Amino acid sequence: MKVIISGAGPVGLTTALALAREGIAVTVLERAAELATDLRASTWHPPTLDMMGELGLVDEILRDGLIARTFQVRDRQTGAIAEFDMGLLKGETDHPYRVQYEQFRFTQLVASRLAAFPHATLVFNAKVASVSQDPQHIRVTTEDGTVHEADWLIGSDGAYSSVRSALGIEFPGLTFPERFFVVSTPFPFEDHLNRLSYVNYVADIDEWCVLLKVPGLWRCLFPTSEESDEEVLASGERRLQGVFPKAEPYETRHKTLYRVHQRVAETYRKGRGFLAGDAAHLNNPIGGMGMNGGLHDGLNLAGKLIELNRTGADRLAEYEPERRPVAVEHINATTARNREVLAERDPVARKRKQDELCRTAEDPVAAKAYLMKSSMINTLRRAA
Ligand SMILES: Cc1cc2nc3c(=O)[nH]c(=O)nc-3n(C[C@H](O)[C@H](O)[C@H](O)COP(=O)(O)OP(=O)(O)OC[C@H]3O[C@@H](n4cnc5c(N)ncnc54)[C@H](O)[C@@H]3O)c2cc1C
């Protein structure tokens, strides 16, 4: 069996590694000249860590990441804190915690592992331009005119997927009105803000935010209205002073401004071509489900290709019904609800939501049920 994967993001590379470990020939085509180094995903959920354990990657993730045993939903005005204890998931997962570990470190780790397999190739400067297929094969032509042929193609080439376009698959959904602005600082917020976890969702009438710790940095995410790019990028100091006021200016490291979409591809498969990860679904980052969900797609699909290669049993038709509803009913619904909780402007409704979350967090049975959903364990069990 030979598989082509378009895109060397976390989903493409991890899917490639899973296939290569089983002796399947795999070629990853990456548009860029090197792996991306920008700050994107950082939150790893328990079942994703379990999967990384099976791939022999989890020791490095735990060594280089930060273990978050709790996460919080806070209210900036009232100071109320709903703190969820991930330890309640003991017995459901080998990793009853979240890990804060940056996506760019992960892709470098996976690419280094992939390099050990002679039947796995990672080609840079190889932008997929067109796709054609017949009942036996699928062919990909890159921008420089090179043609690659394989049994299967996986489009994990991100939000603007060329594979999705080439296969003629629509990507309906919406774009959120606000843009998201991430600014990072080495300032130790944990020494100054009461009981801060490594993952904190902070509700506020004027400016909600998400505070995430990664090794050496706090990443602070804010919504922005339609200001110019320059105005938003210059607002980092004001926004950080809003999180914790201090006399000296903040030292900042990275600033990222981006649009957020909520979209799901109308189908995840056309013939011998599949979609996985951001190419198949996009959501807002509140809850940390984009990359995690994408990895769950890629490894589900890899499992079916491995089974087909080993035994001849073709369960590829089950990929879409197992994974697409997760994006629609769980990932998009949950991340949209998370955004609503943080952005609620009506003080009565906000207090009601926060009180409800505090009651849930304090009741071990209700908290565990909440964590089974927010950790994406339920969706994987349902598909299984
Ligand atoms: C600020 C931010 C924070 C986030 N936080 C989290 C989080 O905490 N947890 C979480 O789970 N998710 C998070 N996400 C989402 C997460 O980053 C994405 O879901 C993830 O990157 C998707 O991985 P992917 O491999 O599907 O796509 P990508 O990472 O987008 O990779 C796609 C790759 O395909 C390549 N490519 C594109 N077009 C072509 C082509 N035509 N030919 C060949 N190659 C091509 C690109 O260069 C890229 O390398 C966050 C996103 C942002 C922006």
Q: In whole angstroms, give the CA distance from residue 155 to residue 161.
A: 7
Substitution candidate for ligand 1 out of 153, 278, 282, 339 with most atoms within 8 A of CB: 278
Cβ(212)–Cβ(183) below 8 Å: no
Residues 6+ apart with CB under 8 A from 358: 80, 81, 82
Give the pLDDT of residue 234: 87
Q: Which residues pair with 270 in a beta bridge?
A: 273
Distances from the Cα of 187 to the Cαs of 203, 243, 291, in angstroms?
Answer: 21, 11, 27
Predicted structure pTM score: 0.96
From the CB of 287, is ligand 1 less than 6 Å away?
no
- How many angstroms is it from 279 CA to the middle of ligand 1? 9
Ligand 1 neighbourhood includes 162 CB (under 6 angstroms): yes
Report pLDDT digits (tens) over 223-260.
998 778 888 888 999 999 999 999 999 999 989 999 99
State which of 291, 326, 331 you would mutate to test the pocket of ligand 1, scoring each by most atoms of that ligand within 8 A of its C-beta. 291
Instruction: Write down the pLDDT at residue 233.
Output: 87
> Quick one: pLDDT at residue 288?
87
Atom from ligand 1 closest to the CA of residue 39: 1
Residue with the smallest CA separation from ligand 1 atom 29 is 9
Residue 178 is predicted with a pLDDT of: 87
CA distance 119 to 222: 44
Q: Ligand 1: distance of its center to the CA of 261 in Å?
A: 13
Which residue lies with its CA nearest to atom 35 of ligand 1? 7
Q: What does the pLDDT read at residue 100?
A: 97
pLDDT in tens, 346-375: 888 888 988 999 999 999 999 999 999 999
Ligand 1 in contact with 8 (CB < 6 A)? yes
> Rounded mean pLDDT of the chain?
95
Cβ–ligand 1 distance for 295 under 6 Å, the answer no
Structural contact between residues 262 and 74, judged by C-beta atoms closer than 8 angstroms: no
Say what the pLDDT of residue 194 is.
Answer: 85
Domains recognised in the chain with CATH numbers: 2-66+100-171+265-341 (3.50.50.60)
* Residue 85 CA, ligand 1 centroid: distance in Å: 29
Q: Measured in angstroms, how far is the CA atom of residue 38 from the centroid of ligand 1?
A: 10
b/e code 264-274 from CB counts within 10 Å (16+ = b): bbebbbbebbb
Q: How far is the centre of ligand 1, averaged over its atoms, from the C-alpha of 320 (Å)?
A: 20
- List the chain residues with pLDDT less than 70: none
What own/partner pairs with CB < 8 Å and gap ≥ 24 does 217-221 have? 217/184, 217/185, 217/186, 217/253, 218/184, 218/185, 218/186, 218/187, 218/188, 218/189, 219/39, 219/42, 219/182, 219/183, 219/184, 219/254, 220/182, 220/183, 220/184, 220/185, 221/180, 221/181, 221/182, 221/285
> How far does Cα 379 stand from its chain's mean position?
15
Would you say the CB of residue 258 lies under 6 angstroms from ligand 1?
yes
Q: Quote the distance between the C-alpha of residue 374 and its chain's center.
A: 13
What's the full length of the chain, in residues?
A: 384
Residue located nearest, by CA, to atom 6 of ligand 1: 41
Place of tokens 């607002």: 235
Q: How far is it, in rounded angstroms, from Cα 352 to Cα 314?
A: 49
Are 382 and 95 in contact by the 8 Å Cβ rule? The answer is no
Listed residue (79, 299, 104, 55) closest to 215, CA to CA: 104
CB 41 within 8 Å of CB 291: yes
CA distance 63 to 59: 6
Q: What is the pLDDT of residue 346?
A: 87
Q: Which pLDDT belongs to residue 344?
A: 85
Question: What is the predicted pLDDT for the residue at 336?
Answer: 83
Q: How far is the CA of 157 from the centre of ligand 1 (A)?
A: 8
Ligand 1 pocket check for 236: Cβ under 6 Å: no
Q: One-letter amino acid identity for 148?
A: H
State if residue 155 touches ligand 1 by the CB under 6 angstroms criterion. Answer: no
CA 269 from centre of chain: 21
From 141, 157, 183, 338, give the residue whose CB has the most ligand 1 atoms within 8 Å, as the site to mutate: 157
Which residue intervals of 22-152 are DSSP H helices?
A: 46-54, 58-64, 103-114
pLDDT at 150: 98
